[in-house]
Amino acid sequence: MRGPAEAGITRTMHNDESTTTRRNDSSGRLPVVVKVFGALRTRLGAPSREIEVPVGGTVRDLLRALASAAPDLVAELEKGLDSGYLNVLVDGRHALFLDGLDTRLDGGETVAFLPPVAGG
């Protein structure tokens, strides 16, 4: 049985910026929406951006793909990830409870990078 990507299924993604329709084809790339919060937004230049990852790619692959579009942002993200300061959510689920940076992306996900929030 063929999976959605092999069958050429059209996937529609909704985010707060726009609606994008993509066709999964033989390009070997899948769209993922990246969202950043706080001071990280200035490094991305927008609240969110669509980045393509290879089929079977991971959050780590997403960072590599993002590096060509926003190298300053990726440097900040890696610094935050290394220090444990930054949270990564894949479709609202914390990556710590998935496979961390090795969490597989199937296309259409929203990956959010956000600093911890404190207050009272």
Q: What digits encode the pLDDT tens for the residues 63-106?
A: 999 998 889 889 889 988 888 889 999 999 999 899 999 999 99
Exposure string for 77-103, b = 16+ CB within 10 A, e = fewer: beebbeeeebbbbbeeeebeebeeeeb
Highest-pLDDT range among 13-17, 101-105, 115-119 = 101-105
Pick 28-114's CATH classification: 3.10.20.30, 3.30.1490.20, 1.10.287.1080, 3.40.50.150.
Answer: 3.10.20.30
Q: For residues 73 and 36, is the Cβ–Cβ distance under 8 A?
A: yes
Tokens 């990280």 belong to 40
What gap in Å lies between CA 44 and CA 48, rounded to an integer?
A: 8
Query: 54 and 24 in contact (C-beta within 8 Å)?
Result: no
Domain ranges of the chain: 28-114
